[in-house]
């Protein structure tokens, strides 16, 4: 399950496809909850400065809730990290700067979709 904030529908569809592909690749059932937000360069710079002490724009910041040491992951391994409203295991937060997605896609010569999926 993905909770989106400030994320256009096109990017939501892409992120859902990436999420499903990751679950399949790692042979994981859909037991996770992840938060994804698209922000401006100014916003990600501020978060980067406040959380990591780096006063710089970056493409993506991730804040994992879990320390996963082996697969498969089960809810029994992390009983205190279950969202009791959804019943899902809280994986963490991902913040993406779409301005950097566009910039890096042009720099590397591939699509914005590929760059966003990679992040």
Q: What is the pLDDT of residues 34-58, one digit of tens each?
A: 999 999 999 999 999 999 999 999 9
**38-47 b/e with 16+ CB inside 10 Å = b?**
bbeeeebbeb
Given a cut of 70, the residues of the chain with pLDDT beneath it are none
Residue 84 phi, psi dihedral angles, 5° rounding:
-75, -15
**Residue 111: what pLDDT?**
95
pTM metric for this prediction: 0.92
Q: At what angle do helices 41-52 and 98-108 cross, to 10 degrees?
A: 100
Distance CA 85, CA 76 (A): 17
**Residue 17: what pLDDT?**
97
Q: Where are the domains of the chain?
A: 2-118
Write the CATH number of the domain with boundaries 2-118: 3.40.390.30
**Residue 113: what pLDDT?**
94
**Residue 61: what pLDDT?**
98
**Residue 110: what pLDDT?**
95
**Residue 27: what pLDDT?**
95
Would you state the structure tokens that stand for residue 82, as one six-digit string?
Answer: 């279950």
């Amino acid at each position: 399950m993905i909770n989106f904030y400030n994320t256009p529908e096109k990017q939501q569809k892409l992120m859902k496809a990436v999420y499903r592909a990751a679950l399949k690749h790692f042979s994981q059932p859909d037991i996770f909850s992840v938060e994804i937000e698209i922000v401006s360069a100014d916003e990600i710079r501020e978060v980067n400065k406040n959380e990591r002490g780096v006063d710089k724009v970056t493409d993506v910041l991730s804040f994992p809730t879990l320390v996963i040491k082996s697969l498969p992951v089960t809810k029994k391994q992390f009983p205190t990290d279950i969202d009791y409203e959804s019943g899902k295991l809280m994986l963490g937060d991902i913040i993406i700067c779409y301005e950097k997605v566009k910039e890096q896609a042009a720099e590397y010569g591939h699509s914005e979709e590929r760059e966003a999926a990679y992040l």
